[in-house]
Amino acid sequence: MGAGRIIEGAKTEGKANATLQASEPQGSDRKGFCAYLRGGKMLEFSGRVTFIRSYYPASYITYTWIRVTTIQTLQVPGYEVMQFLGSGARSTIWQVRERHSSNLFALKRVVKRQAADARFLQQAVNEHDVASHLDHPTIRRILRIRRTKKWLRVREIHLIMELCQGQNVQAERPKDITEVIRIFVQVGEALVHMNGRGYVQADMKPNNILVAPDGVVKIIDLGQSCPIGTIKERIQGTPDFIAPEQVHRQPLNARTDVYNFGAAVYWTLTGKPIPTVLPKKGGYNLVSDNSVSPPEELNPKVPASLSNLVTHCIRMNAANRPSSMTDVVSRLNVISASMSRASGGQAPADL
């Protein structure tokens, strides 16, 4: 790695190979949370980060105020921090071992570094609250929540969660149609459970679905979940998967999950996102049902019955979608059974 010492909580300058930041444009500035690898251990820090072009082929970063967290410096009472697992918006995920039982768990650590980060703390609290009302094998369990205060204010939230193995669907997209159906039947059944308990998941996407080597499927994020009928204070959701009613801040219900679910299945079948009202590039799109190419046109292996179901799920008008995830799962099961019976594994032309 480059020169420069990294000191916990110290002010320093130096260079480090931007292993995870190589896709950032040259000369761009970025404030807030950043992360990179050094010596095989994950470091996280806050401050101003400037990407510059060096005389070497690789990109380098310079940094000022550094707060570093490693498996050696992160202290969690009652747990031993084993390894870094991943990161998200203002959060990092670690594997930890409970000292008195030696059981392994995942720890989500959310840190408030500036005033605007308060919403991420609240999102973590919300995730725990929603999970406490759920009990389904496809939804990751959140066992407890810890709050760390400084000067009488909550500065960190720790969620102790079920440790789930595997790759998310976005990172390892299944190519076999029967496997896609198998995965999403389990996801759909979990959403039926959530809706039945009075909640909307509200952020179903391939990145939030984990598939273990033994085939076990888990929904791993409930940060955007809310009671049915909620009107969000601001637009929340993921571009390429967000439903129109989420963008327009209308009440959310089971049909919102139907749309997010359909958009996730579409991407998994085709490798391409659907055009949504809120695209990833920013701004707003004028989208109609005719803007979306059926999955079977992009992937000839997709049977017409499955293609029709997916396009039904992603109708712009919520009233024109399937009425519930129960309906969607039922149709997926019929398609799966038909594929198993039909010679050559072909599904019926329509459903």
89-139: pLDDT as tens digits: 778 899 999 999 999 999 999 988 888 888 899 999 999 999 999 999 999
Q: How many CB atoms lie within 10 A of CB 213?
A: 8
Domains of the chain: 15-63 (no CATH), 90-161 (3.30.200.20), 167-345 (1.10.510.10)
Q: Are 50 and 62 in contact (CB under 8 A)?
A: yes
Distance (Å, whole) CA 105 – CA 79 = 9
Which DSSP category does 187 fall into? H
Condensed to tens digits (0 to 9), the pLDDT of residues 297-325 reads 999 999 999 999 999 999 999 999 999 99
Strand-pairing partners, residue 81, are 96
What the block records as the tokens of 195 is 């809706």
pTM score of the predicted model: 0.78
Distance CA 30, CA 327 (A): 45
Number of CB atoms found within 10 A of residue 181's CB: 22
- The mean pLDDT value for 253-270 works out to 97
